[in-house]
């Protein structure tokens, strides 16, 4: 009997990663280059609340044979709990999605000031200039950059420590800021011809929240994520199948900002990637 031939070809599209346009440590062009080096065929850069990497990364991808589709990860709130939504394959150019990104940028500026005020009240002086020094983008500045400023000033022992003691959800210096709802975000994504996906459902711990999200008009769920083991996906795959939703996947790579998660550690299968790509191409 001849040995089974295993095809060296395996399609992998990492549809969740962050660049210097938000809180990642590689530029969009560096991310595309890394994707090509590790043999990914597809990629989406999903920065927090900004589409700044587009459209130029799509062209970068073409040069390196990596198909890049538009993506973004929105920070939303449902019943006072933080929920992240991934949007894919939206139309580039002037759509309602761009207005939403601008709203987020303002929300972040106000919220950061409020967090710095809380830290000040607790005896930790971080100025707006200190924060700017840590930020890699003017539009998307957030808690990872505040954590870096706290570390640089010696107020915490690590970035984790900053989240655990001060700025993690529910901690003493945490501020949620303006609430932009899940429903509203889905509506804007759809009005911009995009598809709305529940990001990392494994991280939604609040009782009943997933059930409520399943009742909203999403198009898919991020069933494969980061370093989660294969059997952890089953629950999400079953739910996505039941809803007739897309089952996407990605690493949530942030580069040096989260050094334990490599690019491509989770990915989206070829059939699903094709659906997203065809959706984008149809605009």
Which residues are near Zn ion by CB under 5 A?
A: 73, 252
DSSP code string of 154-168: TSSSSHHHHIIIIIS
Query: Residue 142 CB, nearest distance to ligand AMP (Å)?
Result: 2
**Residue 145 contacts Fe ion per CB under 5 A:** no
Strand order in the sheet with 220-225: 71-78, 81-88, 195-198, 220-225, 246-250
- The answer to whether 200 and 86 have CB atoms below 8 angstroms apart is no
Separation of alpha carbons 104 and 99, rounded Å: 9
When computed from its CA atoms, the radius of gyration of the chain, rounded to whole angstroms, is 19
78 binds, among Fe ion, ligand AMP, Zn ion, none (CB under 5 to 8 A by kind): none
Q: What residues make contact with ligand AMP under the rule CB under 6 A?
A: 23, 48, 75, 142-144, 159-160, 163, 168, 254
**Residue 84 contacts Fe ion per CB under 5 A:** yes
Q: Which is nearer to ligand AMP, 108 or 279 (CB)?
A: 108
Backbone angles phi, psi at 95, to 5 degrees: -125, 170
Q: How many residues bind Fe ion (CB under 5 A)?
A: 3
Q: Which is nearer to Zn ion, 52 or 73 (CB)?
A: 73
Closest CA to 197 of 87, 283, 272: 87
Q: Which is nearer to ligand AMP, 163 or 280 (CB)?
A: 163
163 binds, among Zn ion, Fe ion, ligand AMP, none (CB under 5 to 8 A by kind): ligand AMP
Which residues contact Fe ion by CB under 5 A? 23, 84, 199
């Amino acid at each position: 009997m001849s040995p089974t031939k295993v095809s060296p070809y395996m399609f992998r599209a990492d549809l969740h990663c962050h660049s210097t346009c938000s809180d990642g440590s590689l530029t969009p062009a560096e991310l595309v280059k890394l994707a090509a080096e590790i043999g990914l065929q597809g990629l989406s850069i999903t920065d927090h609340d900004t589409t700044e990497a587009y459209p130029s990364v799509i062209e970068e991808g073409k040069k390196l044979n990596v198909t890049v589709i538009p993506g973004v990860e929105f920070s939303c709130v449902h019943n006072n709990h933080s929920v992240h939504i991934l949007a894919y394959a939206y139309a580039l150019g002037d759509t309602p999605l761009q207005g939403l990104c601008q709203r987020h940028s303002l929300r972040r500026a106000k919220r950061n000031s409020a967090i710095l005020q809380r830290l000040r009240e607790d005896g930790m002086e971080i100025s707006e200039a200190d924060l700017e020094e840590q930020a890699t983008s003017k539009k998307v500045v957030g808690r990872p950059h505040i954590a870096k400023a706290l570390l640089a000033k010696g107020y915490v022992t690590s970035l984790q420590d900053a989240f655990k003691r001060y700025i993690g959800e529910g901690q003493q210096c945490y501020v949620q800021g303006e609430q932009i709802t899940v429903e509203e975000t889905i509506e804007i994504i759809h009005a911009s011809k995009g598809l709305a996906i529940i990001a990392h459902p494994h991280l939604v711990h609040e009782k009943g929240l997933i059930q409520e999200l399943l009742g909203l008009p999403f198009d898919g769920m991020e069933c494969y994520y980061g370093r989660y083991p294969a059997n952890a996906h089953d629950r999400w795959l079953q739910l996505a199948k039941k809803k007739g939703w897309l089952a996407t996947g990605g690493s949530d790579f942030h580069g040096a900002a989260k050094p334990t998660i490599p690019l491509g550690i989770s990915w989206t299968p070829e059939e699903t990637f094709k659906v997203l790509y065809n959706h984008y191409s149809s605009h």
